[in-house]
Structure 1
Amino acid sequence: MKRTVFFISDRTGITSEMLGQSLTSQFEGEVEFTYHTIPFVDDVDKANAAVSRINQTAIRDGHKPIVFETIVKPDIRNIITSANALLVDFFHTYIGPLEKELGVHSSFRVGKSHSTDDRQAYDTRMSAVNFALNNDDGASTKHYNQADIILVGPSRCGKTPTSLYMAMQFGIFAANYPFTEEDLPNIKLKQGLAQNKHKLYGLTIDPMQLHEIRNKRRPNSKYSALNQCMLEVREVESLYRRENIPFIDTTSRSVEELAVKIMADKEILRKIF
């Protein structure tokens, strides 16, 4: 079974994506979802355009799309609710009961969950993103002393997206370093890694999945060969155990789950929101 899912928001869409994907993940194996995000739907024209796109999808697919939305403005939301779709409204589902319990009305402020009122928190996240980008894929190890955590593992096992997620969502200064064919055999920690060993966290992955991922990037190469993937995974896991580096299997975990588990294990979760 295949279904189309839309995430619609008057801001970035991050909240609707996170919540919506958490819900749809409960149906993995039974339903194949195609995801589309429509951010910054903050005026009537954009709302009507979104509804038109949703309705066209309903006609094409032969059944209603599923729409997860976090629209605050009532006039914009009224347009979205007219779409031929199953609508899941995260805000209004919970705002009503909260208003009743608290005895006050919501301000319906757009973008409140991602407000930049706390400028220091915002600046921390932006600095963390820049740090993650500048210290991605072992580009440099000279700034590892500034890192909160350093993710290590084979190429294409999820280090970069996990680093960026921790930076963007939590302000974590995360670097990542790939172990490559040149490190084999008998992988050892290079100086920059050895000096910051207490910050290391390893990622591993099922060799077959790694083979499939790499084959899309470099088909029929030594880099993507199953034997090469098996060798690299075996070597890095041996290193983790030898050096007592905590590690996690990324095969069946989302980026969100990986990030939270890693931060909990390393006790570095910052409350910056």
Structure 2
Amino acid sequence: MNKQKRTVFYLSDRTGITAETLGHSLLTQFDGIEWKKINVPFLDNMAKARTLVERINRAAESDGHRPLVFSTLLREDILEVIQQANCRVYDFFETFISSIEQELQQLSARMVGRAHGLQQSLSYFKRISALNYALAHDDGVNPKNFTEADIILVGVSRTGKTPTCLYLALQYGIVAANYPFTQEDMSANQLPKVLESVRNKLFGLTLNVAQLHFIRQERRPQSQYASLAQCQLEIK
């Protein structure tokens, strides 16, 4: 059975991360649909809005279904233009702000960019500090500073330690280092000495052997490092 193909637009007068995150979370509850996702950030003037209306209408004609539009736009005039397109608009601010205004008995400011003002908070600087730490302690560098880490990821080469550390730093401000197990470490069949004092901070990452083999082949084709046998040995 062929999947239904439909287009979804995420609109915002800023980066669009909120609209995309919330919209995606809702769409994951619906199976059997292949979504073409289009993020439209910084939709902040009427010319852009009118151009987008044409784009939405073309998508509706191509798909044979009107697109879904998830919006965190605050400018009502721009939103009114978008609503003239052949689409179904889900306005997150209208859905929630009006209800909150009623509960608090206070009108909202409805000012663009308020969320980004939060970047000056301590949480922002914490994330930046965690990011700097992750970069300075990647692949076992500066192990004497591992005591400063919240967690230390360990595993064989190419199991995703570095991107995981960066993600944890950027999203949650978690101070994460990582240590790659070498052939010598695995031959010893015991925890490397530099990790002994931080055992309580260790988290291991592993990977399917076939996937590890594929990733290493992309990096060093036809090498011993990338061979299926080597990957099986190291994962074991």
Q: Distance in 1 between matches of 2:189 and 2:69?
A: 47
The answer for the alignment partner of 1:173 in structure 2 is 175
Determine if the alignment matches structure 1 residue 12 to structure 2 residue 21.
no
Q: What letter corresponds to residue 161 of structure 2 in structure 1?
A: K
2:65 equivalent in structure 1: 63
What's the offset of the Cα at 1:104? 1.6
User: Between the two proteins, what is the percent identity of the paired residues?
Assistant: 50
CA gap of 1:166–1:63, structure 2 versus 1, over 3 A, is same
1:161-193, Cα deviation, whole Å (9 max, x unpaired): 432232222222222333356654455433443
CA distance in 1, matches of 2:19, 2:62: 24
| Greater shift in the superposed pair: 138-147 or 69-78 | 138-147
> What secondary structure does 2:200 align onto?
helix
What is the deviation of 1:105?
1.6
Q: Matches of 2:111 and 2:103 in 1, distance apart? A: 19
1:45 aligns with 2:47: yes
Alignment gaps of 5+ in structure 2: none
- In structure 1, distance between residues paired with 2:92 and 2:26: 12
Does residue 131 of structure 1 match 2:113? no
1:39-97: per-residue Cα shift (whole Å, max 9, x none)? 23233334344444444433444433333322222223233333433433222211122
Structure 1 gap ranges (5+): 235-273
Q: Which residue number in structure 2 is paired with residue 81 of structure 1?
A: 83
**TM-aligned CA distance change 1:183 to 1:91, over 3 Å:** farther
Root mean square deviation of aligned Cα: 3.2
Deviations 1:92-144 (A, max 9, x none): 21112222222222211223333237533322222222222333344543432
In structure 2, do the counterparts of structure 1 residues 155 and 86 end up closer, same or farther at CA, with 3 Å as the change threshold?
A: farther
Bigger CA radius of gyration: 2
Look up the match of 1:120.
Answer: 122
> 2:185, 2:191 within 8 Å by CA — same for their partners in 1?
no
Tell me, in whole angstroms, the C-alpha distance in 2 between the residues paired with 1:19 and 1:178. Answer: 36
Of 189, 192, 199, 2:191 maps to 189
**Once the two structures are superposed, what CA deviation does each residue of 1:6-32 show, in whole Å capped at 9, x if it has no partner?**
33322222222322332233346x334
Distance 1:92 1:120 in 2: 30
Q: 1:96 to 1:142 in 2, by over 3 A?
A: same
Q: Are the aligned partners of 2:70 and 2:91 in contact in 1 as well (CA < 8 Å)?
A: yes
Residues 71 and 92 of structure 2 are in contact (CA less than 8 Å); yes or no, is this contact kept in structure 1? yes
TM-score normalised according to structure 1 size? 0.68
